[in-house]
Amino acid sequence: MFDKFFKTCVKFSICSAVLFFFYHLFVSQKLDEETSTNTKEQE
Amino acid sequence: MEQNKDIADIQAAEATFQKKKKFILCYHSFSVNNFKKASVQIRKLAEAAGSPISIAVIPAFGAAPESEAEQFREELEKFVKEGYEIMLHGARHRADLSLKRSIPGKIALLFSNNEAEFAGIDERFTQALLKRSLALWKAHGTGKPSGFIPPIWCGNKYLKKQALDIFDYYEDLSGIYHKVDGKIKKTPSSTLSFSILPSAILGLAQTYACLKMLLPGGVHRLVFHDKDFRTIGEKRILNMVRYTSTMREKIMYRDL
């Protein structure tokens, strides 16, 4: 019972970390993309 | 034509959904020492958000010359006239080290580099400091602030009640409080602030802030200080505000 619960927690943590990592990439790109657009406009 | 109507319907549904999620954008520690630079930063934030924002003001003049103090007053008056919301942010923000504090209060001072002005002080001193804060504010002559934000969000067990006796709103790290029919109502709200974080985790903190805004629940507070414009950078901050504004409706404390 405990073993199953532990495995579920580990799987959930790994999935959360992977999703967070991809969202981090997306957000970073989003913020930098806007910045580069602004820079081009300024130029 | 029919397709355009469908797109309009989808956009209207998205707008309605977004309006259910709200956030507060607040600039912290606007004072006589930084008002010239901070005014420009505040106006840029408001422009990115599309409307005036909330400003947490430190009312103490310190040793500033009278000419500076006068310009500070004028700038505050301008903000009030333009529809910005004023919150009081302590009396002088920095803690008076001569006051007696509880052990959690002393720990808060240690972690905040002595900035947690209200941390762990007793009932009498809390009352005195709140009154001093309000008196300093009244010296500016620009109406009554909407609420009170304790420096570093560290208070003591008396502060919430005392602050809500004077102001409409009070907040700590986990929520915003206001009185409804004599009872204190809490609005769940996360504090998304970056100024005391080490630069190594600033990127992750920004992602966390954006994720919090994306997910439903709470009226989160996105907080910026003058320091953030140096550490995170102006463009990234403004982009974060724009991105958040696409996901949530920006409100002020008085709209709660």
The answer to whether residue B186 is domain-embedded is yes
Q: Residue B54's beta-bridge partner residues?
A: B26, B85
Residue B247 lies inside a defined structural domain of this protein: yes
Cβ-based neighbour number of residue B52 at 10 Å: 19
Asked if B239's CB is within 8 angstroms of A28's CB, the reply is no
Give strand pairing partners of B27.
B55, B224
pLDDT digits 0-9 by tens, B126-172: 999 999 999 999 887 677 899 999 999 998 999 999 999 999 999 99
Gap from A38 CA to chain B (nearest CA, Å): 9
pLDDT for res B63: 78
> At B55, which CATH number?
3.20.20.370
Residue A40 is predicted with a pLDDT of: 45
> Does B203 touch chain A if contact means CB atoms closer than 8 Å?
yes
Which one, of B16, B82, B50, lies nearest residue B245 by Cα? B50
| A32 interaction partners in chain B (CB closer than 8 Å) | 236
Q: Which of B111, B80, B84, B83 is nearest to B95 (CA)?
A: B111
Asked whether the beta carbons of B63 and B124 are under 8 A apart, the reply is no
pLDDT at B129: 93
Relative to beta strand B85-88, strand B147-148 is parallel
Residue B207 has pLDDT above 90, yes or no: yes
Note whether B92 and B60 are within 8 A (CB): yes
Answer whether B206 sits within 8 Å of A34, measured CB to CB.
no
Residue B85 pairs with which residues in a beta bridge? B54
Query: Contact at 8 Å (CB) between B21 and B248?
Result: yes
Instruction: Tell me, yes or no, whether B8 lies in a domain.
Output: no
pTM for this prediction:
0.86
Over pLDDT 70: what percentage of chain B? Answer: 95
Cβ B207–A34 below 8 Å, yes or no?
Answer: no
pLDDT digits over B74-104, tens only? 999 999 999 999 999 999 999 989 889 999 9
Q: Which of B235, B238, B241, B243 to mutate to test the interface with A (most CBs of A within 10 A)?
A: B235
Q: How far apart are CA B32 and CA B77, in angstroms?
A: 13
Q: Which amino acid makes up residue B238?
A: L
Is B243–A28 a contact, with Cβ atoms under 8 angstroms apart? no
SS3 per-residue string spanning chain B: CHHHHHHHHHHHHHHHHHHHCEEEEEEEEECCCCHHHHHHHHHHHHHHHCCCCEEEECCCCCCCCHHHHHHHHHHHHHHHHCCCEEEECCCCCCCCCCCCCCHHHHHHHHHCCCCCCCCCCCHHHHHHHHHHHHHHHHCCCCCCCCEECCHHHCCCCCHHHHHHHHCCEEECCCEEEEEECCEEEEEECCEEECCCCCHHHHHHHHHHHHHHHHCCCCCEEEEECCCHHHHHHHHHHHHHHHHHHHHCEEECHHHC
Phi-psi bin for B209: left (phi > 0), alpha (psi -120 to 50), beta?
Answer: alpha
Q: Which of A20, A30, A38 sits opposite B243 (nearest CB)?
A: A30
Q: Give how many domains chain B has, as a whole number.
A: 1
CB B54 within 8 A of CB B87: yes
Per-residue confidence (pLDDT) for residue B232, from 0 to 100: 92
Single-letter code of the amino acid located at B10? I
Select from A31, A32, A33, A39 the residue whose CB has the most chain B CBs within 10 Å, as the one to mutate to test that interface.
A31
Chain A residues in contact with B211 by the CB 8 A cut-off are 20, 23, 27
Whether the CB-CB separation of B119 and B93 falls below 8 Å is answered with no
B17 domain residue, yes or no: no
| In-domain check, residue B166 | yes
| B126: containing domain | 22-255
pLDDT per residue as tens digits for the range B237-255: 999 999 999 999 999 999 9
Q: Which pLDDT score is estimated for B1?
A: 54
Contact predicate B193/B152, CB 8 Å: no
Task: With a threshold of 0.90, tell me whether the complex ipTM lies above it.
Answer: no
B14: in domain: no
Closest partner residue to B242 among A20, A24, A34, by Cβ? Answer: A34
For residue B248, tell me if it sits in a domain: yes
Q: Check B239 against A24: CB less than 8 A apart.
A: no
Task: For residue B37, list its beta bridge partners.
Answer: none
Assess if residue B2 is contained within a domain.
Answer: no
CB B88 within 8 A of CB B149: yes
